[in-house]
Structure formats: structure tokens, C-alpha cells
């Protein structure tokens, strides 16, 4: 929806160019544009005025750089290198290291032009919490944080763009893009921990941060718990201290899970007492009840948004934010929730995204196992059409944890940041590269079923365990028998004809679809209206039609996501 675009003409000087950005939603704060034109390069940034002075926009005789998002350790880097301002810092970093951004921490993405040797670099952050796309031909090189804006630039330059059929089948099976795919065949993603380097018109994609290079540590369990706590505490401090100097209000998400609880309560323990907690769930479900109990126990203000079926109807709005990278039903509830939040005083939305995955929930066994093509799929209905793509994808990863982290997590779940980015900047201490690196080094036998996670909380923060953990239906515990009892009790409560916090789900899309004829009619009408748009690919149309009419609500919304994205990017 916002960010930057950099367009480079590889053969001649560039002329003035009008970029097309998506319109803001009515709940968003004002944005500004700033434009840079020199020789064969034009760059434009469309961004919120929040933290504007922290978003790099530097034009010097030696380089130009633009960043989107926040580099939350920038003050620490100034002290380390004894620099006075951003220009001096970037010059010092870039002169010493091509991948200088490896030292950055935060939710950032950027473009750097070295004017001395006329080379270009575009970089994503360590875990891909921002999106970055690129197009490369003999005539043009384009980088953009927004696929729609890049797509429109291709049209204006009269450059070819086509629907990627392989990517379409990824969306219809995985529910998200994998590897470097986008729905535009000519456009790819720069994914987590990677950057693009272009010199003499030759483009190469390089890696500067890769969990695959990290080996198991030999630390004792006590040392692991201490190290996890120390690194996490520093990550919390980095986020909240950065925000504090601007006097913004921290908005911290809170659910019935452990991840958001760890962020909110550890920040509170470190005396960041001006947090406002944010919970969104179906009214009366465990996520809402547990969040309210935690907020009351710590006397912390809580914004609670009760989710409704409206998130299923906002097809085009939800897809406009993620450009069809992820099935809209998996994230529509976040879009619905943030619309009701006033963003005037909010600086950063702090989340616990992916804490459980980083600490073991992606492990199916105690030992290392190879990934399977069915890992993390939303649908297997068209698996035969995507099998070869998925086989090629899993061959790049040595184990299931890496495969799931780099695809399901960084490319799928991380798109949730795009929605919080509509009202503020965003961060998760679990995704600090220092924390995730150490967490990945913990032997799998200790992370299996999140055992080390529970041990960490019980040993260092036992007071957090007095609240129910929604995932198991009881208080955090590593005793297998107790967990079985919890789950059995929850299963019984779900079936009892009485009102209780287990009677529903956080987002019961299938229930909404089955029980509300208006929802069914709206989705069916949307499908009928737009399925003919992809008339040039009859096999794909047939597969989409079969999946829509035979599939569950998730499979239906996978089809609708593709239709909406096609309309957005190609019509």
C-alpha cells in the first residue's frame, strides 16, 4: 500500500515519471510523497508521516538511499561507529561492507545507489517482514515494496506482464506464494535475508542472513533458558525504547496464546507501562476471555474488537493490501480489527508473531526430518498441479523447520505485518535476528512440542503461567498426561449445549459461511462475476471452478483471492 519504488533505465537517462500508488483507506493517517530523479534513476516514496525522520532519504554526492520501516538500533550504530548523523553512518557502513544492512535491526527494507561505481542494491530485512519486488530486463531494473505500483509501472513503460500459472497453483494449494514467486511471471520477490545487487546491468540475488548456516549449540538447559531470556529482554528494550523517544503509545497485541503474552508482560515488567493492549477475537471465545483476564490482572488498558463475518466480505480490500500473496480469509480478521483502531497516537504495533514456530511448533519429531510437499498446505485439492513446484521448493531446504520458516512463516504468516503497517510501524521481538538465530541453534529434541519454551516461562516468568494457554486448553505445562486431560476437557466443553469460552474458534469462517446465506450468496456472486476474467487459461479456470464448488470455505477463498488479485494486477 505504501513504501518506495526505484526505477532504473539501463540504457538511457530517465524522464519524469508518474507512479501510481493505491489509495489510502479512510482509517489511515495522511501520507507524503518524496521523489528523487538523477541521470537514469528515479525513486519515489509514499509513506506515513510517523517516524518520517527515521526513514532514510539521503541524496549525497556518493550515494542515494531510501528505507521504509524502522531501523530500531540506529542510535546504537551511531555510538558503535562514532558517527554524527545518518549520512556519515551509511557512508561508514557501506564503504566497509556491501551487505551493510546486516547490522540493522527492525522491520525495514531499502534501496541503495552507489554513485561512485554506479551499482544498485535493494535489500529486505532478515526475516522478510517487509515485501520487496523486482523486475529486470535489458532495458529496465525496477524495485518496489508494492506489487501493484510496480505492475502499473510496467504498463506505463509498455513492458510485458503475464499471470504466472505456477504461482497461481501455489496460491490454490499452499495459500501463499513460496520462494520468490509472485502472480506476475516477470516479477519476483526478494525474500528474507536476501538482497539484489546490480553492477554493469548484471543482476544477482545474494544472501546475507541464512538460518541454514547455524549449527546446534551445546549449552545446558539452564544456560539456554538464561540466554533466551537475556536476548528477548534486549529485543523488547530495543523496540519500546526506540518508540518511547517519540512519545507514541505502544499498541501490543494480546490473545490467549503465549507469544503475545510474553511480549506484553515482559515489556510491562521492564517498566514500559504506557502500553495499550489489543485483542481481536470472536466474542466470548477463549482468546477474548484470556486476554481480558491478563489485562485486568496487570491493570493494563485493553482494546477488544469482536470479530464478525464482515472479514469474509472484504475481498478486494484485503487483497489490495497483500497483492494476492496470501489467501485473504487467513488475514481478513486482522484487516477488520484494525479498522476500528484510532492510529493518531500509536507508534509501533508490537506483536508476538511466530514465537511458537521459532521455539518448536514446526517440528513434527524430536530429530531432524526432511520437509514434505504437504507441509503447511491450505488445500490438497489441486496438489497434483502444484506437486512439481513444491518438490523443487522443498529440495532447497535441509529440514522441515527451515522449509516451514522460510515459506509458511516468512512468506505466509509475515504478510500479517502488512495490515498492521496500515496504522503504524510494526515489530516482533521473536523475529530479532539475534533471538531467532539463537533459538534455531537449540537442539530439536529440546524444542519439540515447545518444551524449552514452556521451561523458559515456568523458570524465569512463572507468574505468566497462571493464565490458560489457548493452544492446549489449560495452563502452560510440559506434562503429557496433564496436556491430554486439558485437551479432553476442552473437547467436551466444545460439545456441551452451554455457553463457554471453548464453544467457538477465533475466526470460524466455515461456521459463518454455513450459517449465513447472505455470505454464501455474496461469495458465489463474486466468483461468477470474475471467473471469466482469466478466460485465456481454460485449464486453470476449470480447476478453480472445481475447487470453489467442491471445496471448504478456505478453498473457496483461495480461488476468490486469485480472482481479486488478477483484477488488481492485470485489469
Residue 377 lies in a domain: no
As given in the structure block, the three cell numbers for residue 263 are: 511480549
Of the candidates 539, 549, 550, 545, the residue with the CA atom closest to the CA atom of residue 563:
545
User: Packing angle between helix 383-394 and helix 165-173, nearest 10 degrees?
Assistant: 100
Instruction: Check if the beta carbon of residue 107 is closer than 8 Å to that of residue 2.
Output: no
- Give the integer Cα–Cα distance in Å for 508 and 503: 11
Residue 9 lies in a domain: yes
Q: What is the pLDDT of residue 12?
A: 82
pLDDT category at 556 given cuts 50, 70, 90 is: very high
Q: What confidence tens digit (pLDDT) does each residue in 176-214 have? A: 999 999 999 999 999 999 999 999 889 999 999 999 999
Q: What percent of the chain has pLDDT over 70?
A: 97
Full DSSP string of 267-333: HHHTT-TT-EEEEEESTTSHHHHHHHHHHHHTT--EEEEE--GGGGT-HHHHHHHHTTSB-GGGTHH
> 335: domain CATH number?
3.40.50.620
- Give the integer Cα–Cα distance in Å for 317 and 310: 12
Q: What percent of the chain has pLDDT over 90?
A: 86
Do residues 475 and 518 both lie within one domain? no
Task: Using alpha carbons, list the distances in angstroms from residue 58 to 61, 77, 87, 91, 114.
Answer: 10, 17, 7, 11, 12
Q: What confidence tens digit (pLDDT) does each residue in 336-353 have? A: 999 988 777 899 999 999
Q: What is the pLDDT of residue 241?
A: 96
Q: What is the pLDDT of residue 230?
A: 98
Residue 371 lies in a domain: no
Is it the case that residue 64 has pLDDT exceeding 70?
A: yes
Do residues 433 and 523 both lie within one domain? no
Instruction: Check if the beta carbon of residue 1 is closer than 8 Å to that of residue 422.
Output: yes
The residue whose grid cell reads 499498541 is 251
Which of the listed residues 181, 211, 241 is the one where a domain comes to its end? 211
- Give the integer Cα–Cα distance in Å for 122 and 129: 15
Do residues 175 and 240 both lie within one domain? no
Q: What confidence tens digit (pLDDT) does each residue in 24-38 have? A: 999 999 999 999 999
Is it the case that residue 320 has pLDDT exceeding 90?
A: yes
Which of the listed residues 186, 211, 236 is the one where a domain comes to its end? 211
Do residues 441 and 534 both lie within one domain? no
pLDDT category at 403 given cuts 50, 70, 90 is: very high
Which residue has better confidence, 431 or 282? 431
Q: What confidence tens digit (pLDDT) does each residue in 110-126 have? A: 999 999 999 999 999 99
Signed CA dihedral, 359, 364, 367, 369: sign only? negative
Do residues 171 and 319 both lie within one domain? no
Q: What is the pLDDT of residue 494?
A: 66
Is it the case that residue 504 has pLDDT exceeding 80?
A: no
Q: What confidence tens digit (pLDDT) does each residue in 1-25 have? A: 899 999 999 988 777 789 999 999 9
Residue 15 lies in a domain: yes
**What value does the mean pLDDT of the chain take?**
94
- Give the integer Cα–Cα distance in Å for 369 and 375: 12
Residue 536 lies in a domain: yes
Q: Domain range spanning residue 242?
A: 214-366+401-507
Lowest mean pLDDT among 214-218, 267-271, 491-495: 491-495
pLDDT category at 75 given cuts 50, 70, 90 is: very high
Instruction: Check if the beta carbon of residue 338 is closer than 8 Å to that of residue 419.
Output: yes
Amino acid at each position: 500500500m505504501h513504501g518506495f519504488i526505484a526505477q532504473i533505465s539501463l540504457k538511457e537517462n530517465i524522464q519524469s515519471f508518474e507512479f501510481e500508488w493505491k489509495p489510502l483507506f479512510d482509517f489511515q493517517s495522511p501520507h507524503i510523497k518524496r521523489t528523487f530523479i538523477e541521470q537514469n534513476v528515479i525513486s519515489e516514496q509514499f509513506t506515513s508521516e510517523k517516524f518520517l525522520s527515521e526513514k532514510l532519504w539521503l541524496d549525497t554526492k556518493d550515494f542515494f538511499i531510501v528505507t521504509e520501516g524502522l531501523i530500531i538500533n540506529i542510535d546504537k550504530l551511531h555510538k558503535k561507529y562514532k558517527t554524527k548523523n545518518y549520512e556519515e553512518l551509511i557512508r561508514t557502513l557501506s564503504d566497509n561492507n556491501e551487505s551493510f544492512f546486516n547490522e540493522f535491526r527492525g522491520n525495514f527494507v531499502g534501496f541503495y545507489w552507489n554513485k561512485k561505481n554506479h551499482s544498485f542494491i535493494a535489500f529486505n530485512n532478515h526475516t522478510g517482514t517487509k515485501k520487496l519486488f523486482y523486475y529486470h530486463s535489458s532495458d529496465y531494473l525496477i524495485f518496489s515494496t508494492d506489487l501493484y505500483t510496480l505492475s502499473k509501472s510496467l504498463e506505463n513503460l509498455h513492458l510485458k506482464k503475464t499471470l504466472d500459472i505456477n504461482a497461481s497453483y501455489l496460491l490454490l494449494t499452499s495459500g501463499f506464494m513460496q520462494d520468490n514467486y509472485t502472480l506476475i511471471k516477470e516479477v519476483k520477490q526478494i525474500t528474507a535475508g536476501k538482497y539484489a545487487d546490480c553492477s554493469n546491468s548484471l543482476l544477482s540475488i545474494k544472501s546475507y542472513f541464512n538460518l541454514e548456516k547455524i549449527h546446534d549449540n551445546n549449552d545446558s538447559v539452564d544456560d539456554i533458558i538464561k540466554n533466551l531470556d537475556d536476548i528477548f529482554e534486549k529485543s523488547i528494550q530495543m523496540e519500546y525504547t526506540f518508540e518511547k523517544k517519540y512519545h507514541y503509545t505502544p499498541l501490543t497485541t494480546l490473545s490467549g496464546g503465549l507469544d503475545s503474552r510474553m511480549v506484553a508482560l515482559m515489556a510491562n515488567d521492564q517498566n514500559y507501562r504506557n502500553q495499550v493492549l489489543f485483542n481481536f477475537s470472536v466474542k466470548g471465545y477463549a482468546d477474548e476471555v484470556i486476554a481480558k483476564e491478563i489485562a485486568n490482572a496487570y491493570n493494563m488498558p485493553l482494546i477488544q474488537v469482536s470479530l464478525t463475518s464482515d472479514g469474509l466480505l472484504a475481498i478486494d480490500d484485503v487483497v489490495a493490501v497483500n497483492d494476492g500473496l496470501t489467501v485473504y480469509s487467513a488475514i481478513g480478521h486482522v484487516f477488520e480489527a484494525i479498522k476500528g483502531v484510532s492510529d493518531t497516537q500509536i507508534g509501533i504495533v508490537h506483536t508476538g508473531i511466530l514465537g511458537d514456530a521459532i521455539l518448536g511448533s514446526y517440528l513434527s519429531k524430536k530429530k531432524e526430518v526432511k520437509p514434505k510437499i504437504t507441509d503447511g498446505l491450505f488445500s490438497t485439492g489441486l496438489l497434483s498441479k502444484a506437486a512439481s513446484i513444491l518438490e523443487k521448493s522443498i529440495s532447497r531446504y535441509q529440514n522441515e523447520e527451515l522449509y516451514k520458516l522460510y515459506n509458511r512463516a516468512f512468506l505466509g504468516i509475515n504478510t500479517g505485518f502488512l495490515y498492521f503497517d496500515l496504522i503504524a510501524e510494526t515489530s516482533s521481538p521473536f523475529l530479532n535476528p539475534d533471538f531467532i538465530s539463537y533459538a534455531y541453534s537449540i537442539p530439536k529434541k529440546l524444542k519439540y512440542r515447545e518444551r524449552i519454551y514452556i521451561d523458559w516461562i515456568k523458570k524465569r516468568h512463572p507468574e505468566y503461567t497462571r493464565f490458560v494457554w489457548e493452544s492446549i486448553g489449560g495452563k502452560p505445562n510440559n506434562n503429557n498426561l496433564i496436556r491430554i486431560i486439558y485437551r479432553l476437557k476442552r473437547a467436551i466443553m466444545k460439545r456441551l449445549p452451554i455457553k463457554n469460552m471453548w464453544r467457538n474458534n477465533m475466526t470460524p469462517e466455515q461456521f459463518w459461511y454455513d450459517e449465513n446465506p447472505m455470505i454464501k450468496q455474496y461469495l458465489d456472486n463474486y466468483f461468477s462475476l470474475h471467473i471469466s476474467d482469466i478466460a485465456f487459461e481454460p485449464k486453470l479456470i476449470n480447476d478453480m471452478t472445481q475447487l470453489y464448488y467442491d471445496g471448504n470455505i478456505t478453498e473457496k477463498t483461495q480461488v476468490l483471492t486469485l480472482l481479486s488479485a488478477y483484477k488488481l494486477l492485470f485489469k
